[in-house]
Amino acid sequence: MRRDGEPDGDGGAVDSALDELYVTPPPAFVSRRESLATEAKGAGRVSDARRIRAARRPSLAAWAANLLLRSRPEESRAFLDLGQALRDAYRSLDADGVKELSEQRRSVVAALSRQAAELAAEAGHRLSDPVLREVEATLRAVLADQDAAGRWATGRLESALTPPSDFPGTTAVRTERPRSPAAPTRTSTSTQDEVAERRRQRQERLAQQKQEKLARQKQEKLARQEQEKLARRQREKLAQEKRERLGRAREAARAADQRLRQARDDLRRAERQQRAAEKQREEAADAVSRAEREAREAASEVKRLSGRGT
């Protein structure tokens, strides 16, 4: 918020200054921060100067990750897209699918980490093995965690990120149908006719109960078959969805890997062309020097022969 009498800040200018600051090598960070803050204050942007001075110097690993994002925007966007695809896939993939995606993830993370190391070396700072491991951990966190991906996407990390643990699986729950209690039996003592009548009635009830039991069993069997059919369809649908998500995630990983390889090839080609251009420039400069020397020698010879030389 602007204080009374204080000029408003320039959001675009301060963002550009901070973007530049977070790709400045850490040893030069403090001096560059002071220079940018002084420039902002001299231009009357006091609030911008305060924001710039509040920026914290990043660790070497965080700086390398920021440098990678700014220097390789296309590969970085593809990497962020891959992270989103992987996070979506992990929510439902089985163990085999997760294992395969993890192997592809390691390949892409290793390739990007090498690019970060190359960029840091070009800027005059070789990354040690512990620092490189911090860069790899940061990239794994970007793939696994949405918040980490958002923080890296700003290009202003101050410290390395830590990846979260793997996504938990699901636990199946089984239920059992309680058994129906057995029907009680009754006994009695009476005359022979009463006993016979009761026996007949009991047999009828037993027969009726048996028929009812058979009918219930048939209905339950049909219901179980229908449930099993529905469950089988659901499993097939989920399996198909998993295969489709896995396929998309694999394709995204392959595309990202291909773009990384192409970017490395383009970089090597540009470096070769630059070296060739420098060599041609040097040869041309040598040729000009020789021509000038020969011209001077020829002019001297002309003067000497014409009698005007000393």
At 204-214, the pLDDT tens digits run: 877 888 888 88
| Alpha carbon distance 145, 164 (integer Å) | 7
Query: Considering only CA atoms, which of 42, 36, 34 is closest in space to residue 13?
Result: 36
pLDDT-based confidence at residue 251 (cuts at 50, 70, 90): confident
Q: Which two tokens stand for residue 302?
A: 């002309």
Neighbouring C-beta atoms of residue 46, cutoff 10 Å: 17
At residue 110, does pLDDT exceed 60? Answer: yes
Of 167, 116, 168, the C-alpha closest to 137 is: 116
DSSP line for 156-225: --SS---PPPPPP--------PPPPPPPP-------HHHHHHHHHHHHHHHHHHHHHHHHHHHHHHHHHH
> What percentage of the chain has pLDDT greater than the value 70?
81
pLDDT at 176: 35
Whole-model pTM: value is: 0.50
